[in-house]
Amino acid sequence: MQDDAGPNQTATPTDPRGLDAGASVEAVRTSIEAAATALAASDPTRPREALPLLRRAQEHLTAAIDEAMAAALVADGGTIRTTGALAGLSENAVGPRLARTRLLAAYGTEAGRVTATGVERARYDLEQGRHRPAPAPAPTDPPAPMRFRARRPSAGGTP
């Protein structure tokens, strides 16, 4: 027997649209648990040692937020703007974050963003039973920190 998930209901693993809610839920749960582990290991009386653990917790929470946004968009039928607002993000910040999720990575553009068109396509593929989430990423080192680069060189020193 299949469950009917209306537009305002959470999808279940037997959702007729084909959404494997279990995978989305598990990705969020795993990220939250990893963040909790990093937070539990940090000692606030030793800030120098706590900083890398706090950063790791932040990265795991970011992954949890990204996966939850993707699941909310696909399962609940929200918009990128509304979903971003629920997460405290601007609409422009959501697309690149969705492109890093298992659920929507395959629907990103060459620029590394998921647009409303990509979300619509993912919903359609799920309804047709053709959606295949991206494989779970292999554990890797965190990306190198961003570095400041001047937009244009200044002539003769500071402007």
| String of DSSP letters for 100-133 | TSTTTGGG--TTS---HHHHHHHHHHHHTT---P
What residue has token string 């068109």? Answer: 117
Residue 28 above 70 pLDDT? yes
Average pLDDT, the chain: 80
Residue 36 above 80 pLDDT? yes
Least confident of 2-6, 49-53, 95-99, 112-116: 2-6
Helices (H), the chain: 21-41, 47-76, 80-86, 91-98, 116-127
| pLDDT confidence of residue 152 | 76
As a whole number, mean pLDDT of residues 25-50 equals: 93
Neighbouring CB atoms inside 10 A of 61's CB total 17
As a whole number, mean pLDDT of residues 52-59 equals: 95
More confident residue, 3 or 107: 107
Residue 34 above 80 pLDDT? yes
Residue 132 above 90 pLDDT? no
Residue 8 above 70 pLDDT? no
Q: Which tokens sit at 151?
A: 């937009």
As a whole number, mean pLDDT of residues 32-50 equals: 95
The DSSP symbol for 146 reads P
Least confident of 40-44, 53-57, 95-99, 139-143: 139-143
More confident residue, 82 or 1: 82
Q: CA-to-CA distance for 156 and 159, rounded, in angstroms?
A: 8
What residue has token string 């009386």? Answer: 45
Q: CA-to-CA distance for 73 and 75, rounded, in angstroms?
A: 6
| pLDDT confidence of residue 1 | 38
